[in-house]
């Protein structure tokens, strides 16, 4: 991966393919590879003749690891995305994010409405209107030396996912304390570009994508049948939804 500095923090990124650019923003405890390469998204987007830009969020993968919660404010994560787009000289690229990556994409749409050409915000829904849940259990699950003691199933899933991706769990725990912030309908109404909100039909972490999309002026929504938060990313129905959106 190549690297650049975003407000002093080293961010690792990778570009491949040719065509209209789309920037992919992975979810919490994931990496560009785990979220986009392994589930088949890069192959799908290459077939769509897109240039694919991927990066690891600060505190994740090959990007710089930080241990100050204030370094993971959602506005700062969105600024990293904006800085990468500027670093590469992209003009109004499409942006697709999953879970935390979708929140970052929406925050970019609010803070810099003229930067994204469109947004696909997946793995989120109307729970974004509420204060973050599961913060303490997830942080504890990430930091414990006794993973068999974890009783909160959502927290346990994040711990397993972090270990599968060989992540620095202390950096992730620090990130989780700060990165998740609620939105309001008035804030989402500031987004100028078109936005597609997508969530799995059984994704209780995300909630209703239609209710969230209704606050966005050019918002639409779609459901991935029978999928929950962890199993939606590589689903064929998700591929088809995005293909149709950009057809």
pLDDT tens per residue across span 91-114? 999 999 999 999 999 999 999 999
Is the per-residue pLDDT at 133 higher than 90? no
C-alpha span between 54 and 36 (Å, rounded): 8
Cα distance between residue 57 and residue 62, in whole Å: 9
**Chain mean pLDDT for the chain:** 96
Do 1 and 63 contact (CB within 8 A), yes or no? Answer: no
Question: What are the residues whose beta carbons fall under 8 Å from the beta carbon of 222, sequence distance 6 or more?
Answer: 196, 197, 198, 209, 241
CA distance 197 to 212: 7
Question: Residues 6 or more apart from 23 whose CB is under 8 A from it?
Answer: 53, 54, 55, 81, 84, 85, 90, 93, 94, 95, 96
pLDDT, position 181: 87
For the entire predicted model, the pTM comes to: 0.96
pLDDT in tens, 177-236: 998 889 999 999 999 999 999 999 999 999 999 999 999 999 999 999 999 998 999 999
Buried b (16+ CB within 10 A) or exposed e, 53-62: bbbbbbbbbb
129 pLDDT above the threshold of 90: yes
Higher pLDDT, 21 or 179: 21
Q: What is the pLDDT of residue 154?
A: 87
């Amino acid at each position: 991966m190549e690297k650049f500095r975003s407000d002093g923090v080293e961010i690792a990124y990778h570009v491949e393919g040719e065509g209209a650019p789309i920037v992919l923003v992975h979810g919490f405890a994931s990496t560009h590879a785990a979220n986009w390469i392994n589930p088949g998204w890069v192959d799908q987007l290459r077939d769509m003749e897109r240039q694919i830009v991927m990066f690891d969020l600060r505190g994740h993968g090959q990007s710089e690891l930080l241990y100050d919660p204030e370094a993971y404010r959602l506005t700062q994560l969105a600024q990293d995305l904006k800085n990468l787009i500027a670093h590469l000289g992209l003009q109004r690229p499409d942006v697709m994010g999953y879970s935390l990556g979708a929140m970052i994409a929406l925050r970019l749409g609010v803070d810099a409405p003229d930067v994204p050409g469109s947004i696909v915000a997946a793995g989120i829904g109307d729970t974004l209107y509420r204060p973050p849940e599961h913060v303490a259990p997830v942080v504890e699950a990430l930091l414990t030396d006794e993973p068999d003691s974890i009783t909160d199933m959502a927290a346990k899933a994040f711990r397993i996912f972090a270990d599968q991706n060989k992540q620095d769990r202390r950096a992730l725990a620090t990130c989780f304390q700060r990165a998740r912030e609620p939105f309001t309908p008035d804030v989402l109404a500031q987004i100028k570009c078109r936005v597609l909100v997508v969530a799995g039909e059984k994704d209780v972490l995300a909630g209703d994508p239609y209710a969230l999309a209704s606050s966005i002026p050019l918002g639409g929504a779609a459901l991935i049948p029978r999928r929950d938060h962890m199993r939606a990313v590589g689903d064929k129905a998700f591929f088809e939804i995005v293909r149709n959106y950009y057809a």
